[in-house]
Structure 1
Amino acid sequence: MKTVLITGCSSGFGLDTARHFLEQGWKVVATMRSPKPELLPASDNLVLLPLDVTNDESVHDAVGAAGPIDVLVNNAGIGWLNALEGTPIDVARSIFETNTIGTMRMVRAVLPQFRERKAGLIINVTSSVTMKPLPLLSVYTASKAAVNAFTESLALELAPLGIAVKIVLPGAAPDTSFGSNAMALLTANGGFPEAYSDFANSVVSAMRTPGAPKTLSSDVVDAIWRAATDPSAPMRIPAGADALALED
């Protein structure tokens, strides 16, 4: 039985991915800042652990408690929508600390056991906005583009050790909590700057246009599953109709 450790399982892609791997008979180490057992079905194959990817001790404890794992899915992330002028530096720092440094922290934590076994797979979940940038997402895009570049270089240094690395790039998923959390964070930090408000509101309206291509959580789950189980899958795997359209 293979084991996968997934970060950010409290909602959205992470939660649905954990459920899917359980259904497929994997042992799943589902992590979130504050574990909620009611979110996942009771199973002998489920280990639920607290994990804050921004905290060294938390990462060390979670990976230690998880035991041997075969696949790491770095899914935990913070969304952010605002102009750069409307982005406090402490918010930008927290986004990079979770999205970028948090991913690096998790990878560092699992590498010793992967190196010892000369096997292992790391799947980093980033975003299709790194394929085609959009306005008001400059800070978020930068945090995810950094993970793309990190992953591509990391793959070269880990390949001789028998360790594989892949990237899943979801499109916009308005039906998950990710977007609503980003809007809540925007509101908590004062909203759009006045100079950008008209433009920003038009951008948000366009994002919510009915019928526009979008990403379903199931699209991302399928892409992560493919990355984990199909050795012939490419390093970069777009997920969702809007993300796939960017490849054309």
Structure 2
Amino acid sequence: MPTVLITGCSSGFGLETAKLFLGKGWRVIATMRKPQPDILPTSDNLTVLPLDVTDAASIASALEQAGEIDVLVNNAGFGAAVPIELIEPETARQLFETNMLGTLAMLQAVLPGFRKRRNGTVINVTSSATLKPLPLVSVYRASKAAVNALTESLAVEMEPFGVRVHMVLPGRAPETRFGESAMPHLRGLDDPDYKPMIEGMIANFREASGPVTLAGDVAQAIWHAATDPNAPLWIPAGEDAVQWMAEAR
């Protein structure tokens, strides 16, 4: 029975991905900063573990309890929508520490085992926001673009060792908590220049009509990456992400 470890399973993409892999008969290690076992189906194949990707001790403890894994899904992350001139330095640091350095820390913890076994799959969840310039998400976008670059180079490094590497790029997902988690970092609504831009961004993100990304789209893209040896390096997830990818490449 293959085993997948997924970070950031408390909601959204990670939660839906854990449910999908469980339904397919995989052993699932669902990790989250504050474990909530009751949000996932009861299963002998499920292990829910605490994991903070910014904490080396937390990573080491989770991986020791998880045992050997076949697929690593780096999904944990958060967003912030703030004009560049107004973003708090601490928020910028947190974005990179979680989204990019957290991904790097997980890779450094898991790759030695994959390389030794000459087998394994890495799937990094980034963002279609990296495909074109967008206002207000510049630092979030930069942190995810860094993961894109990291993933591209990692694929080259791991190819001689039989380790597959992919990135999944979701689009706008109104049903997830991305907007909710981004709101505490929002700055600029009291600025007459930025207020219209910010209000427009909030309205656009909450608008569920038109091309959007569902959590199920991302879960299916991750499943494709995990199970298809011919899956591409870049995998857009969601109708809007597919359109953006076609325009960008």
CA contact 1:86–1:192 (8 Å) conserved in 2 = no
CA contact 2:174–2:207 (8 Å) conserved in 1 = no
**Is 2:28 aligned against 1:23?**
no
Distance 1:210 1:220 in 2: 16
Please name the residue that 2:203 is paired with. Answer: 205
Please name the residue that 1:119 is paired with. Answer: 119
Distance 1:167 1:191 in 2: 32
**Quick one: which amino acid aligns to residue 222 of structure 2?**
I
Please name the residue that 2:238 is paired with. Answer: 240
CA contact 1:78–1:99 (8 Å) conserved in 2 = yes
Identity between Structure 1 and Structure 2 (%): 57
Q: How many residues align?
A: 245
Distance 1:192 1:86 in 2: 11
Q: TM-score, normalised by structure 2?
A: 0.95
Deviation at 1:212? 2.4
What SS class does the counterpart of residue 19 from structure 1 fall into?
helix
Distance 1:193 1:57 in 2: 41
| 1:81-100 equivalent positions in 2, closer than 5 A | 81-100=81-100
CA contact 1:82–1:192 (8 Å) conserved in 2 = no
| 1:1-248 equivalent positions in 2, closer than 5 A | 1-186=1-186, 190-192=187-189, 194=191, 195-209=193-207, 211-246=209-244, 247-248=246-247
**Quick one: which amino acid aligns to residue 204 of structure 2?**
A
CA gap 1:49/1:210 in 2 versus in 1, 3 angstroms = closer
Distance 1:11 1:137 in 2: 21
Deviation at 1:192? 3.8
Q: Which runs of 5+ in 1 are unaligned?
A: none
Distance 2:123 2:171 in 1: 16
CA contact 2:54–2:98 (8 Å) conserved in 1 = yes
What SS class does the counterpart of residue 8 from structure 1 fall into?
coil
What SS class does the counterpart of residue 211 from structure 1 fall into?
coil
What's the CA shift string for 1:198-220, capped at 9, x where partnerless?
A: 22222333344452211011110
What's the CA shift string for 1:62-91, capped at 9, x where partnerless?
A: 111110000000000011111012210011
Distance 1:132 1:62 in 2: 36
What SS class does the counterpart of residue 169 from structure 2 fall into?
strand
CA contact 1:81–1:137 (8 Å) conserved in 2 = yes
CA contact 2:169–2:235 (8 Å) conserved in 1 = yes
Deviation at 1:134? 1.1
Distance 1:91 1:210 in 2: 27
CA contact 2:123–2:168 (8 Å) conserved in 1 = yes
Q: TM-score, normalised by structure 1?
A: 0.95
CA gap 1:40/1:203 in 2 versus in 1, 3 angstroms = closer
CA contact 1:29–1:49 (8 Å) conserved in 2 = yes
Deviation at 1:41? 1.2
Deviation at 1:175? 0.8
Distance 2:50 2:188 in 1: 31
Query: Structure 1 runs of 4+ off > 3 angstroms?
Result: 190-193, 206-210
**Quick one: which amino acid aligns to residue 239 of structure 1?**
A
Distance 1:238 1:27 in 2: 25
CA contact 1:85–1:193 (8 Å) conserved in 2 = no
Greater shift after overlay, 175-184 or 89-98?
175-184
What's the CA shift string for 1:28-75, capped at 9, x where partnerless?
A: 000000111111111110111100000011111111111000000000
**Quick one: which amino acid aligns to residue 203 of structure 2?**
S
What's the CA shift string for 1:175-212, capped at 9, x where partnerless?
A: 111221112332xxx55461311222223333444522
CA contact 2:91–2:185 (8 Å) conserved in 1 = no
